[in-house]
Amino acid sequence: MIASSRLASSILALLVGALLLALPAGPAGADCPPRTEIGVGSEPPDTFLVTLCYQRGGVGAEITETYFLIVPDPATTPAAPVAVLVLLVGGNGRIGLGDGDIGLLGTNFLLTQRFHFAAAGPFVTAVIDAASDFQSGAPGKPCSTGSGLRGCRLDADHMTDIANLMADLRAEFPGLPLWLVGTSRGTISAAGAAALLAPGPDGIVLTSTLTDDPDPNEDVFDAPLADIAVPVQLIAHEDDACPRTPPGDTPALAAALSGAPKVKAEKFFEGGATALSGPCDPLGPHGYFGIEPKVIAKIARFIAANP
């Protein structure tokens, strides 16, 4: 059930946004690893491992933020990229990219489909990992027990990490719109960034949106959704049985996005392959298992229609 009032959480989120604007990231450390072209596992030569190093607000310990960067190869994808996509996975947000491989959350919808997203636009595509201090828990944070980003999806530090990533990508690919695509708990990060950051993303896509969690800062209704002023696409599967992402909440979510210039609540997807995982796991309706190409094509069309 959606809580009737989230006033306290909304006020907190607004204070977080004000803090973010006042605390720019510090300079990158001299020992930050260089961008590396990788060919680990299924990664083709046009995939890079990128690490950002900074101090949040210019103080404290240095933080590292690692992400995969997929740049469409002109030899195989002649069309120029039309946008930059940042994929925000669900769960605890920890992928394990430090060694250039995907060791955690490997079956997540966005992870398994990262190359299909890159080809669909085509899009420059980034897969973001949780920052270094969130990998094993951040002292003093609600997620300090080693649970990654659980409880910290709207935290000022996590928002700063997304802001730094977006700034890095915009500097490298100027002129391209930048979109955040979140799935499950990753939708909290995407919605929070769109509501709290300035500059924020140019649009967001929320798939299997986390709308029903009793814990603080653990679903999208804890973010000030009315402050989102960019196009939003909502994607759901009618058979998603995860109790935290009920597809029936989509109309209420669309109504809460009152400041967005365009909200597209897509027709609920249906069908797919026989589920191989639990209701909140990716190899089933929650992760669009067996119909991933249809979902990606729908997302690509929406982004192309809202440059």
Q: Where are the beta strands (DSSP E) in 148-301?
A: 178-183, 203-207, 232-235, 263-265
Reported confidence tier of residue 144, pLDDT bands at 50, 70, 90: low
Residue given tokens 């394990």 in the structure block? 96
Segment 289-306 mean pLDDT: 92
pTM: 0.86
pLDDT at 18 over 60: no
Q: Domains in the chain and their CATH numbers?
A: 7-305 (3.40.50.1820)
Q: Dihedrals φ, ψ of 56, to 5°?
A: -65, 125
Tally Cβ neighbours within 10 Å of residue 241. 15
pLDDT at 169 over 90: yes
**The predicted structure's pLDDT at residue 99:** 56
**The predicted structure's pLDDT at residue 270:** 80
pLDDT at 271 over 70: yes
Segment 43-66 mean pLDDT: 82
Q: Collapsing DSSP states into helix, strand and coil, what is residue 66?
A: strand
pLDDT digits (tens, 9 = 90+) for 79-125: 889 999 999 999 888 888 865 555 544 677 788 888 889 999 999 99
Query: 85-121 burial, b if ≥16 CB within 10 A, otherwise e?
Result: bbbbbbbbbbbbbeebebebbeebbbbbbbbebbbbb
From CA 67, how far away is CA 256, in angstroms rounded?
31
Segment 45-57 mean pLDDT: 86
